[in-house]
Amino acid sequence: MEKYERIGRELVHKGAIIDYYQDTIKVPNGNIAKWDYIKHKGAAAVVAVKEDGRLLMVRQYRNALNRETLEIPAGGLNDVDEPTDLAAARELEEETGYTAGKLELLLSLRTTVAFCDEKIDVYVATDLKRSRQHLDEDEYLDVESRDVDELLQMIYDCKIQDGKTVSAILAYHNKYRKSENGIS
């Protein structure tokens, strides 16, 4: 692979969730290009599995899409050094009002590699116990319990489009459910 060289990085805007930079890159043929770069602290998400096998989902308004979405519980890290399992446990309880007796890493994903470094670690939460939901003051969401097969169909019908949710449900189904259902 040919060599790329970052020769500059300028902070354009510091935001609450992301920082936006403009990078100056020397490309392999020697030309200089300006590329956008989004710095993100990272996030954690949870496939929360109830005793009956249904998954806890959250329905919430997403400003970027100007509509509600159905997603797995998730949230940003408080800082870049926060362990993602602790963030996942925190977000599960905050958003759904449940705690997990067991958390297991399912996958790590990068959401938008062309211009953003966001990494989300997704955990499977089992042995759920009822606790208390405590949302942020600007956070409004509804908790729903859904069957995995119903969620898979919603993915295939393009009704669930959130990348972390699609990846997590497909990975969960592949790792934990296929053998249960006799699928090979």
- The set of catalytic residues is 137
Picking from 130, 28, 136, the residue whose alpha carbon sits closest to that of residue 78 is 136
Cβ within 8 Å of residue 101, ≥6 positions away: 126, 127, 128, 129
Residue whose entry in the numeric block shows the structure tokens 């958003």 = 95
In whole angstroms, give the CA distance from residue 164 to residue 123: 11
